[in-house]
């Protein structure tokens, strides 16, 4: 069974551009989560989607946005890129909304570099 | 506001040693406490999840405990091997409502020397 897949693996952009990151959850998983892992800051919660709806977002500016498609895959968009957006962006999926004790399964991430 | 702290930040041990990684959290109103492993440049692998009503979970050579009253969790690794070298992260889940959000510690980077 395929795990959580993310694309691209690496993404290089310049300041002010837009970045689009993609995530495919494990088959049968309806919840998708996005986390940012920046050097020195650790893992920070970005967004949670379930059944196509945004359920929660972390303390990030509105230029971080996303969506979840009918097939439960998800996209994270970062507009007006800033140098400090350089980080590893991790996507995770789990079985069900409300299942607080469902394990999260993470992808390998997209390394975003903003020059 | 929940804060999760892991001590030590780094640990180097010889192969075969038993070791304990520590995790503390400030808010005891959690749904669960999870331990993850991260290899360099990779995503996270879930190791153990302890529900708030549980005291411990075991998987192979790993044992994780949870003491909500003291705000602590430990991950015990028995008979460490070089393949255990990685960063170990603990994360608290939940709170007063299901937010879908995990609060992570900064991690303990473990090196097991052959």
* Pairing label, strands A42-50, A53-57: antiparallel
Mutate to test the interface with A, among B31, B36, B42, B44 (most CBs of A within 10 A): B44
pLDDT at B97: 63
Q: Are A92 and A36 in contact (CB under 8 A)?
A: no
Min Cα–Cα distance to chain B from A95, Å: 12
A105 contact residues in B (CB cutoff 8 A): 46
Per the CB < 8 A criterion, the answer to whether A104 and A92 are in contact is yes
Q: Which candidate in B29, B35, B43, B49 is best for mutational testing of the A interface (most A CBs within 10 A)? A: B43
The SS3 call for residue B39 is coil
From chain A, the residues in CB contact with B44 under 8 A are 90, 92, 104, 106
Predicted pLDDT of residue B42: 84
DSSP helix/strand/coil, B16: coil
Query: Considering only CB atoms, which chain A residues are within 8 Å of B64?
Result: none
**What is the three-state SS of chain A?**
CCCCEEECCEEEECCCCCEEEEEECCCCCCEEEEEEEECCCEEEEEEEEECCEEEEECCCCCCEEEEECCCCCEEEEECCCCHHHCEEEEEEEECCCCCCCCCCEECCCEEEEEC
Cβ atoms of B53 and B30 closer than 8 Å: no
Nearest to A108 by CA among B45, B107, B104, B89: B45
Closest residue in chain B to residue A97, using alpha carbons only: B100
pLDDT number for residue B44: 92
Interface contact flag, B100 A50, Cβ < 8 Å: yes
Helix (H/G/I), strand (E/B), else coil: B82: helix
Flag if B43 and A106 touch (Cβ within 8 Å): yes
CA pair distance A106, A72, nearest whole angstrom: 15
From the list B42, B51, B104, the residue facing A101 with the nearest CB is B51
Over residues B74-89, the mean pLDDT reads 97
Query: What's the confidence (pLDDT) of residue B2?
Result: 86
- Name the stretches of chain A with pLDDT < 50: none
Q: Could you report the per-residue pLDDT of B4-56, keeping only the tens digit for each?
A: 999 999 999 999 999 999 999 998 888 889 999 999 888 899 999 998 889 99
Q: Among B28, B32, B9, which Cα is nearest to A42's?
A: B9
């Amino acid at each position: 069974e395929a795990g959580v897949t993310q694309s691209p693996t690496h993404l290089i952009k310049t300041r002010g551009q837009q970045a689009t990151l993609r995530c495919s959850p494990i088959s049968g998983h309806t919840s998708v989560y996005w986390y940012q892992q920046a050097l020195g800051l650790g893992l920070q919660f970005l967004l949670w989607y379930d059944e196509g709806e945004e359920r929660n977002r972390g303390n990030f500016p509105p230029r971080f946005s996303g969506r979840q498609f009918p097939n439960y895959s998800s996209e994270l968009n970062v507009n007006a890129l800033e140098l400090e957006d350089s980080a590893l962006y991790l996507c995770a999926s789990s079985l069900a909304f409300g299942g607080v004790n469902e394990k999260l399964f993470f992808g390998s991430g997209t390394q975003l570099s903003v020059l | 506001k929940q804060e999760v702290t892991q001590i030590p930040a780094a640990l180097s041990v010889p192969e075969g040693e038993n070791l304990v990684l520590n995790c503390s959290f400030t808010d005891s109103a959690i749904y669960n406490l999870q331990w993850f492993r991260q290899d360099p440049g990779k995503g996270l692998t879930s190791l153990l999840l302890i529900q708030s009503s549980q005291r411990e979970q075991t998987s192979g050579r790993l044992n994780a405990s949870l003491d909500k009253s003291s705000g602590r969790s430990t991950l015990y690794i028995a008979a460490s091997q070089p393949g255990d070298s990685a960063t170990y992260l603990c994360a608290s889940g939940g709170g007063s409502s299901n937010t879908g959000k995990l609060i992570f510690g900064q991690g303990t980077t473990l090196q097991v020397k052959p």
